Amino acid sequence: MRMYDIIKKKRDGGELSTEEIKYFIGGVTDGSIPDYQISALCMAIYFRGMTVRETCDLTFAVRDSGERLDFSAIGGIRADKHSTGGVGDKTSLVVAPIVASLGVKVAKMSGRGLGHTGGTVDKLEAIEGFRTTLSEEEFIKQVNDVGLSIVGQSRQFAPADKKLYALRDVTATVDSMPLIAASIMGKKLAADDDCIVLDVKTGSGSFMKTVEKSRELARLMVDIGKNAGKKMVALITNMDRPLGNAIGNSLEVIEAVETLNGRGPEDLTEVCLTLAGYMLSLAGKGTPAKCIALAKEAILDGSALKKLMETVAAQGGDANLIADPAKFQRAKFSYAVRSTERGYICAVDTEAYGLASLALGAGRNTAEDAIDYSAGIILRKKTGDRVEQGEEIATLYANDEALFPAAAKKLLAATVVKDEVPEEEPLIYDVVE
Ligand code: URA
């Protein structure tokens, strides 16, 4: 078999056989296929797509490219969630402690930022001392003792996805339905969870820009998971605006803690409670409505926040930062972005907001870039809000003042202000079961 022929076949719209897909992923994993051929096939898949059968084969090949985790030593039902990626999406930091505080085990493996989107591992590393790498024994022990652990993917876990993820990030091939489905479900199936809730984002800040495409991706991933014996649900949630008001790593951890204190932004709180409710429901705790009420209670009585503190302490992080987020190191400089028009914010390009945060140092342009954890954006106005000319719509934070003008320009260009009040969009579009 030759990689050249596989690329040509997909380029010309052909359907790859199971053997060809296994050959490709085998070569990605053992390093025998060079990056330029991997990237070329990703681009061909981007343009030509894949059938459901090809996508399933790709998912299973990614799953089998490394070690499969065995969680049988974890007592109790295990539930996980995974987001397709968004801007200001700090839901894992809120949802996982809620669910764990209600007795469902959460053994969570998370990713880093990808493209314009943030990643849970980067956010957790904003907490001083927090170890995102644990041995399998440490990970399992913590899940048994505390009920929750969140780590990055180890080198042995779905290594083909690690390679593909990094190459897709720099070759404009992230937003491809089969590549996203295989990436997410390949990892989810290599882990050993009973229940999985997917948060499929839709809109300008997500990789799927329309509700129809997001619904198609959700259906595909739910079916792949169910065929592999998992209990699955996908929520389709709005990413036409950032979730919450904070974008950037430590700013997002602070907002997640506020949400666990019951003082979070409404949109973030609602999405988190719904995700937690469906995780608990899949895990057998009752109907989604009953489980959403349980999740609310876990915030009100402080048990979810306590669970996050226990988790942070168990992973070597400074739990004082969670008890008092004012102690997080702040960026040296801030800058107010002011509206040049008056009216209502009708729409925002959420991807551009994510890129503005990246430009302030909150994300990476290359895999080697270091992150500035304190950099980012706090939104003072969101879609639907009235603004006056000269009114502050966002505050930028950075440790280098020279970064402000370009980020401010990007943010203003991405904010549409008009005379009329925009139509309200749903926060949760659909539940795919
Ligand atoms: N999250 C993933 O894990 N993979 C993707 O391809 C996109 C989002």
Taking only the tens place, the pLDDT of each residue in 10-24 is 999 999 999 999 999
**CATH 3.40.1030.10 domain residues, the chain:** 79-155+190-323
**pLDDT computed for residue 418 by the predictor:** 95
Q: For residues 94 and 98, what is the distance between their CA atoms, to the nearest angstrom?
A: 6
**CATH 3.90.1170.30 domain residues, the chain:** 329-418
Whether 351 shows a pLDDT value over 80: the answer reads yes
Residue 387 in contact with residue 341, Cβ under 8 Å? yes
Q: Give 293 Cα–ligand 1 centroid separation in angstroms.
A: 30
Radius of gyration of the chain (CA): 21
In the chain, the percentage of residues whose pLDDT exceeds 70 is: 100
Whether 366 shows a pLDDT value over 80: the answer reads no
Looking only at the bridges linking them, the beta strands covering 231-238 and 428-432 are antiparallel
**pLDDT computed for residue 367 by the predictor:** 67
Report residue 250 as tokens.
């430590």
Number of Cα atoms under 13 Å in the Cβ half of residue 341: 13
For ligand 1, is residue 85 a contact (CB within 6 Å)?
yes
Residue 44 in contact with residue 7, Cβ under 8 Å? yes
Tell me the β-bridge partners of 197.
Answer: 81, 233
**pLDDT computed for residue 70 by the predictor:** 86
**Of all protein residues, whose CA lies closest to atom 6 belonging to ligand 1?**
180
Can 53 be counted among the known catalytic residues? no
Residue 152 in contact with residue 112, Cβ under 8 Å? yes
Q: What predicted TM-score, i.e. pTM, was given to this entire model?
A: 0.93
**CATH 1.20.970.10 domain residues, the chain:** 3-49
Sign of the C-alpha dihedral computed for residues 94, 146, 320 and 371 taken in this order: negative
Site to probe by mutation for ligand 1, drawn from 84, 110, 157, 200 as the one with most ligand atoms within 8 Å of Cβ, is: 84
User: Which candidate in 64, 89, 122, 161 is catalytic?
Assistant: 161
Q: For residues 158 and 318, what is the distance between their CA atoms, to the nearest angstrom?
A: 30
Taking only the tens place, the pLDDT of each residue in 272-326 is 999 999 999 999 999 999 999 999 999 999 999 999 999 999 999 999 999 999 9
For ligand 1, is residue 118 a contact (CB within 6 Å)?
no
Question: 3-49: which CATH topology?
Answer: 1.20.970
Looking only at the bridges linking them, the beta strands covering 415-418 and 343-348 are antiparallel
For ligand 1, is residue 180 a contact (CB within 6 Å)?
yes
Q: Give 161 Cα–ligand 1 centroid separation in angstroms.
A: 9
Taking only the tens place, the pLDDT of each residue in 61-71 is 999 999 988 88
Residue 122 in contact with residue 113, Cβ under 8 Å? yes
- Ligand 1 atom at minimal distance to the Cα of residue 168: 6
Q: For residues 255 and 247, what is the distance between their CA atoms, to the nearest angstrom?
A: 9
Query: Would you tell me which CATH number, out of the four given (3.30.1330.10, 3.40.47.10, 3.40.50.300, 3.40.1030.10), belongs to the domain 79-155+190-323?
Result: 3.40.1030.10
Report helix, strand or coil for 305: helix
Longest dimension (CA), the chain: 64
Whether 114 shows a pLDDT value over 70: the answer reads yes
CATH class in words for 329-418: alpha beta
